[in-house]
Structure 1
Amino acid sequence: MTGVLAEIELAVVRRRMLAAGAEVGPELDGSLISGGRSNLTVLLDDGVCRWVLRTPPRHGRTPSAHDVGREFRVTSGLATTDVPVAAPVVFCEDEALLGGPFSVWEFVDGVTVQSRDQLDALGSEVVDGITGALVETLAALHRVDHVVVGLERFGRPDAYVRRQITRWSGQWELVAPGDATVQDHAIAVRRLLEEQIPEQVHTSIVHGDYRIDNALLDLTGTTPRVAAVVDWELSTIGDPVADVATMCAYRHPAFDQVLGFPTAWTSPSLDDADALAQRYERAGGVELAHWPVHLGLAYYKIAVIAAGIDYRWRAEGAPEGGNDTAGSAVAPFLEAALTTLTAEGLSRPPTQGARCRSTTC
């Protein structure tokens, strides 16, 4: 093996890159950047240039997750816009070559801030600049005309909330833990969501998993900027309010258990969800209509994601990059969804300056 890929596999990748027009040297090396909970991310290096390869985990995949082809397609569409993405190189759907499809992008030099310690080391002024850059980038994404950039068939433009409820409920059926109380809470959340499906006011490209550690940051200048948004496997066409709600829902303290360490995005030194929502609107984002329903859906989605990580842990026995704490986050996220979707939560003004008024955000 050379890193995470065998030499014969690297040779296959190199041939595909050459066929796509990339200039690649005779020797290609591959080393693992990250893997386990999501797609495997591999740094490719020929001694002169670097690229990034993404491929699904070789075991424990769930249907519709880990979609590297989806990531390649959306970044190809966004490459000519002002939304920062890595330049796409090649997508290969032949699973016989690496055990799954794979995509390759040009390497983007940037900082990934994942842990609480990494964030705290930056200082309050830099952290505030990062927060502003993140919300401005998300607002810019939501202003892109998906038809103009060739993504008119990237997803259905309507009924986004209904489709999301169906999708994540289907995933839940595959990965749900055995705890009866947790199962009851999930059923209750789904029922409340189905009873309160809102009218879709806006349609745009949505990232689906937007937070600080899914962005590469350029911290070399006087003002932080987003060098590239990454991890597009949950992207589609849908309601942009849901993207903002997901960003806010990840601020829940239980997200630390999902990833298994004190995360940057749950840090109290960041803006709270209410302030994030306000900054998003000031950056030119859409009005956050029907906010409680979108926030409840976001909590539900993260609960299912946490259950999926726990499912892989239980099925594989401590897989690489997994953790044994994700299961403990499922109940808190479902409880947050229930609180947000009850009469108490829905009685709060949903669009007063994009206020996120849930105390669990």
Structure 2
Amino acid sequence: MTASSAGVRAELDLDALAVHLQAILPTGLAGPLSASLISGGRSNPTYRLSDTAHQWVLRRPPYGHVLPNAHDMTREYTVIAALGDTAVPVPAAVLLCEDTSVLGAPFYLMELVEGRAVGTIEQAASLTPAQRHGLGLDLADTLAALHEIDPVTVGLEGFGRPDGYLQRQLKLWSRQWELSKTSERPAVAALLDKLGRALPATRFPGIVHGDVKLDNVLVAPDDPARIVAVLDWEMATYGDTLADVGLMLGFWDVPGQTFNPLTKGLATLDGFPTRTELLDRYRSRRGIDLPEIDWYTIFADFKIAVILEGIHHRHSRGETVGEGFEDIGAMVGPLLDRALDLAAQSEIPELRR
């Protein structure tokens, strides 16, 4: 999605932004600023920003209703800056502005990575089956590489607390649901009860991305089986790395089962690894076993449903920017139902009850 410069100017105060950047960038600005909307963001509005010599990406929180602890620009900037010299591909961090007088909210700039998006069926359909297979495996490899990083070595030891992480996550997303819900859904209480009774111990602490999916990566223009940037780190933390694996699987649809309404069967295109292959690849890269993975996958569907309800809440109040929000509310129920279906079939007894 794009927006005209005039439209963006009404959302981004380019005059105020130019004054700020002129003062803070080491070389100042090379000419006037222009901006276009890359994504209205079912989450964070994201803009391509340029002067006559440079191009950046600007990220800011959504306009209007924002959940507590969500859309944290400082968190996102901190983690991509910390990972800049690791095996995990991230855009270079340029600057963080926490002064809300500039744009009305915190924001940050990062480098513009020349990459190819593969997060929709239409985008992935342009790849060959072999490229899709390689891309799926590279996603699992990239996630394993992230989870093998010692947070202490990159300065993220204080980025979160693995102990009690899952308990806090359940409380957080239960609270977020209560703050965002637009209707009562009995499935929420049922899922929270099951997840609470089956809560696993955190066995593999590490850096958690928090939103692992093909829509949040860019691939090399000349090699779409190679990821060149992992994006959208707003929910990153130091916690239970298997939460990311559950999310990856939640966005990885299975033929014959209910699709995630966001991905719409993307991973069932010919060539993509199966969910089992993806999980086996990750497991072999880390040399670990994952007996409780159903819990994490069910929690992922619940978490995504809560996020979508929050977006639906903002859209119903006219607080979203861009297009593609009209059907968000209708996606919540299918995700909750899918999570209950998986719980009913799980080998974990507490989830089946």
TM-score by length of 1: 0.87
The 5 Å alignment of 1:80-99 reads 80-99=85-104
Contact conserved, 1:36 with 1:322, CA < 8 A, in 2?
no
Gapped runs of 5+ residues in structure 2?
A: none
Contact conserved, 1:92 with 1:101, CA < 8 A, in 2?
yes
Contact conserved, 1:3 with 1:29, CA < 8 A, in 2?
no
Alpha-carbon offset, residue 16 of structure 1: 5.4
Change (3 A) 1:77 1:186: same
Of 43, 68, 71, the residue aligned with 2:73 is 68
Supply the RMSD in Å over aligned alpha carbons.
2.4
Q: Secondary structure at the match of 2:238?
A: strand
Alpha-carbon offset, residue 132 of structure 1: 1.6
Identity of aligned residues (%): 37
Contact conserved, 2:39 with 2:322, CA < 8 A, in 1?
no
Alpha-carbon offset, residue 149 of structure 1: 0.5
The letter for the 1-side match of 2:63 is R
Q: Secondary structure at the match of 2:154?
A: coil
Change (3 A) 1:143 1:210: same
Change (3 A) 1:208 1:43: same
> Which residue matches 1:115?
120
The letter for the 2-side match of 1:30 is A
1:334 aligns to 2:339 (yes or no):
no
Which of 200-209 and 301-310 deviates more? 301-310
Q: Secondary structure at the match of 1:283?
A: helix
> Which residue matches 2:250?
249
The 5 Å alignment of 1:155-170 reads 155-170=160-175
Contact conserved, 1:142 with 1:205, CA < 8 A, in 2?
yes
Distance in structure 1 (CA, Å) of the matches to 2:251 and 2:199: 22
Distance in structure 2 (CA, Å) of the matches to 1:332 and 1:347: 22
Of 199, 208, 212, the residue aligned with 1:206 is 208
Q: Per-residue displacement from partner, 1:165-199 (whole Å, max 9, x unpaired)?
A: 011111100111324xxx21101111111111111
How many residue pairs were aligned?
340
Change (3 A) 1:81 1:239: same
The letter for the 2-side match of 1:127 is R
Alpha-carbon offset, residue 266 of structure 1: 6.1
Distance in structure 2 (CA, Å) of the matches to 1:15 and 1:23: 4
1:312 aligns to 2:314 (yes or no):
yes
Change (3 A) 1:99 1:159: same
Q: Per-residue displacement from partner, 1:16-50 (whole Å, max 9, x unpaired)?
A: 541xx366413222211111411111111122221
Distance in structure 2 (CA, Å) of the matches to 1:53 and 1:106: 9
Distance in structure 1 (CA, Å) of the matches to 2:291 and 2:250: 16
Distance in structure 2 (CA, Å) of the matches to 1:87 and 1:22: 17
Distance in structure 1 (CA, Å) of the matches to 2:173 and 2:324: 21
Alpha-carbon offset, residue 232 of structure 1: 0.4
1:7 aligns to 2:7 (yes or no):
no
Alpha-carbon offset, residue 142 of structure 1: 0.3
Distance in structure 2 (CA, Å) of the matches to 1:136 and 1:74: 19
Distance in structure 2 (CA, Å) of the matches to 1:319 and 1:29: 18
1:229 aligns to 2:236 (yes or no):
no
Q: Secondary structure at the match of 2:211?
A: coil
Alpha-carbon offset, residue 233 of structure 1: 0.6
Alpha-carbon offset, residue 313 of structure 1: 2.1
The letter for the 1-side match of 2:18 is A
Q: Per-residue displacement from partner, 1:91-133 (whole Å, max 9, x unpaired)?
A: 1111121011001111111011122111111110111111121
Q: Per-residue displacement from partner, 1:64-84 (whole Å, max 9, x unpaired)?
A: 221111110001111111111
Distance in structure 2 (CA, Å) of the matches to 1:161 and 1:340: 19
The letter for the 1-side match of 2:197 is E
1:58 aligns to 2:63 (yes or no):
yes
1:42 aligns to 2:47 (yes or no):
yes
> Which residue matches 1:354?
none
Alpha-carbon offset, residue 286 of structure 1: 4.3
Alpha-carbon offset, residue 340 of structure 1: 2.9
Q: Secondary structure at the match of 1:311?
A: helix
Q: Secondary structure at the match of 2:86?
A: coil
Q: Secondary structure at the match of 2:160?
A: coil
Contact conserved, 2:63 with 2:319, CA < 8 A, in 1?
no
Contact conserved, 1:3 with 1:32, CA < 8 A, in 2?
no
Contact conserved, 2:87 with 2:145, CA < 8 A, in 1?
yes
Which of 246-255 and 167-176 deviates more? 246-255
Distance in structure 2 (CA, Å) of the matches to 1:83 and 1:291: 23
